[in-house]
Amino acid sequence: MKDNKIWELYQKEINRQQSSHNFIASENYVSDEVLEITGSEFTNKYTEGYPYKRYYNGCENYDELEVYGIELLQQLFGCNFANLQPHSGANANLAVFKAFLSPGDTILGMDLSAGGHLSHGSNANISGKWFDNHFYGVDDNGFLNYDEIEMKAVEVKPKMLIAGASAYPRQIDWQRFRQIADKVGAILLIDMSHYSGLIAAGVYDNPIPYGDVITSTTHKTLRGARGGMILWNNQEFTKKINSAVFPGTQGGPLMNQIAGKIQSFSEANTDEFKKYGQDIIDNAKIMCQVFRENGITIGTDGTDSHIILIHTKETSGEEVANRLESEFNIVVNKNSIPNDPRGVWKTSGIRIGTAAMTTKRGSDVNYFKDIAEVISNVINNL
């Protein structure tokens, strides 16, 4: 028996997604195949443990599925080992912390207000409660200053250095982070969540050769089912990482979600996906051009990815985001800018991303130009 309330809300959400222009940088639209497999009978089984070493009987198909997914990741990113079981990117990071750190250890990550992620040591997150947290930021133009990051690392001597961001538009220099980590003897965790689809498409530098451990979500630019994953190359890390996921921080894996992840890995191993990745960046650059022509200030004056960080002038990012949605059905999120005087609730910027609408519209240049014009007009008129 269907619960009418649930199905009513489901239909409303379908209508909302079909009618809105989604420029949330961390969202995307999955394929019909991903939707189908995540709602399949794979949801019915407990599979605690790992392939060929489960705590329940009846897992032979799940063993084969998980091994296949790891093989696809090895092809896609060039890693030696992978764990597909984290329920989210934050869970993946938490497991890495458990594998390599003890409470009170020093970590150095990107400040949340500068574009970092909540799970990289923010006081609002468990990572901010367990460790001696230190942060690096960006300069007034929004760029990472690697020399300053190195100076900070030398000063605080972190046991773990974290690279990766939630609102950084440019190419991150993974090799430079490797050099800094080596200089201070730190473990280098690279969180590539926002960029993993671009990396799979070959249009953003691959961090696998440089990180000790790499984490990612699977549902942003990679366009898979919601969840997380951990990749690494050093066989000596395998037992500690796997045991930190299960039983260290999670119970049974969500095999329907893992199946949806694996379907997206298969889709990403195609020429079509490589074109998709390039279209994402081309569309973002086209929008940046329109913003400049309209006198809109853009963080780092452009982008190398799907992310564009926009300054909203005298109006708060919250008000701009609300106006875009209510009047034009354009969905973005408010976002802090460097040294933001308004704080995280009002903000002086918005963050947009081109991945979701590139899924829907491909390389429709005029569409992305038109959306950029509307956003510019709202900011300038407010």
Residue 115: pLDDT over 90: no
Note the pLDDT tens digit of each residue in 126-136: 888 899 999 99
Note the pLDDT tens digit of each residue in 294-330: 999 999 999 999 999 999 999 999 999 999 999 999 9
Question: Hunting for tokens 């200089």 — which residue is that?
Answer: 183
Note the pLDDT tens digit of each residue in 205-236: 999 999 999 999 999 999 999 999 999 999 99
pTM greater than 0.85 (yes/no) = yes
Instruction: Classify burial at 276, counting beta carbons within 10 Å of its beta carbon; exposed 0-12, middle 13-18, buried 19 or more.
Output: buried
The pLDDT confidence band at residue 37, using thresholds 50, 70 and 90, is very high
DSSP 233-261: --GGGHHHHHHHHTTTT-SS--HHHHHHH
Residue 274: pLDDT over 90: yes
Q: With DSSP H G I counted as helix, E B as strand and the rest as coil, what are the percentages for the chain, rounded to 5? A: 50, 15, 35
Which of 226, 261, 334, 351 is an active site residue?
A: 226
CB contact at 8 A, 150 and 183: yes
CB contact at 8 A, 96 and 230: yes
The pLDDT confidence band at residue 124, using thresholds 50, 70 and 90, is confident
Residue 141: CB atoms within 10 Å: 11
The pLDDT confidence band at residue 343, using thresholds 50, 70 and 90, is confident
For residue 128, the model assigns a pLDDT of 83
Is 43 known to be catalytic? no
Quote the percentage of the chain above a pLDDT of 90.
Answer: 92
Residue 97: pLDDT over 90: yes
Bridge partner list, 228: 217
For residue 339, the model assigns a pLDDT of 82
Is 358 known to be catalytic? no
Residue 152: CB atoms within 10 Å: 19
Residue 352, helix vs strand vs coil: strand
Region 195-201: mean pLDDT is 98
Bridge partner list, 144: 138
Question: Tokens standing for 128?
Answer: 């901010």
For residue 344, the model assigns a pLDDT of 85
Note the pLDDT tens digit of each residue in 163-186: 999 999 999 999 999 999 999 999
Can you tell me the distance from the alpha carbon of 225 to that of 207, in angstroms, rounded to the nearest whole number? Answer: 22
Is 33 known to be catalytic? no
Pairing outcome for strands 160-163 and 187-191: parallel
Which of 159, 220, 261, 351 is an active site residue?
A: 220
The DSSP element (H or E) to which 216 belongs, if any, is strand 213-217
Which of 29, 46, 146, 367 is an active site residue?
A: 46
For residue 302, the model assigns a pLDDT of 97
Region 360-367: mean pLDDT is 97
Q: How far apart are the first and last CA of the chain?
A: 49
For residue 122, the model assigns a pLDDT of 84
Which of 66, 111, 191, 318 is an active site residue?
A: 191
Bridge partner list, 349: 311
Residue 272: pLDDT over 90: yes
Which of 48, 63, 173, 364 is an active site residue?
A: 48
User: What domains, with CATH codes, occur in the chain?
Assistant: 33-268 (3.40.640.10), 272-381 (3.90.1150.10)
Average pLDDT, the chain: 96
For residue 42, the model assigns a pLDDT of 98
For residue 338, the model assigns a pLDDT of 85
Instruction: Classify burial at 145, counting beta carbons within 10 Å of its beta carbon; exposed 0-12, middle 13-18, buried 19 or more.
Output: middle
Is 12 known to be catalytic? no
Please list, in sequence order, all residues whose beta carbon lies within 8 angstroms of the beta carbon of residue 295, skipping any fewer than 6 positions away. 376, 380
Region 119-145: mean pLDDT is 90
Can you tell me the distance from the alpha carbon of 351 to that of 354, in angstroms, rounded to the nearest whole number? Answer: 10
For residue 291, the model assigns a pLDDT of 98
Is 48 known to be catalytic? yes
Is 285 known to be catalytic? no
Q: Nearest Cα to 134, choosing from 119, 148, 120?
A: 120
CB contact at 8 A, 255 and 43: yes
CB contact at 8 A, 62 and 255: yes
Can you tell me the distance from the alpha carbon of 86 to that of 93, in angstroms, rounded to the nearest whole number? Answer: 9
Which of 106, 217, 218, 249 is an active site residue?
A: 217
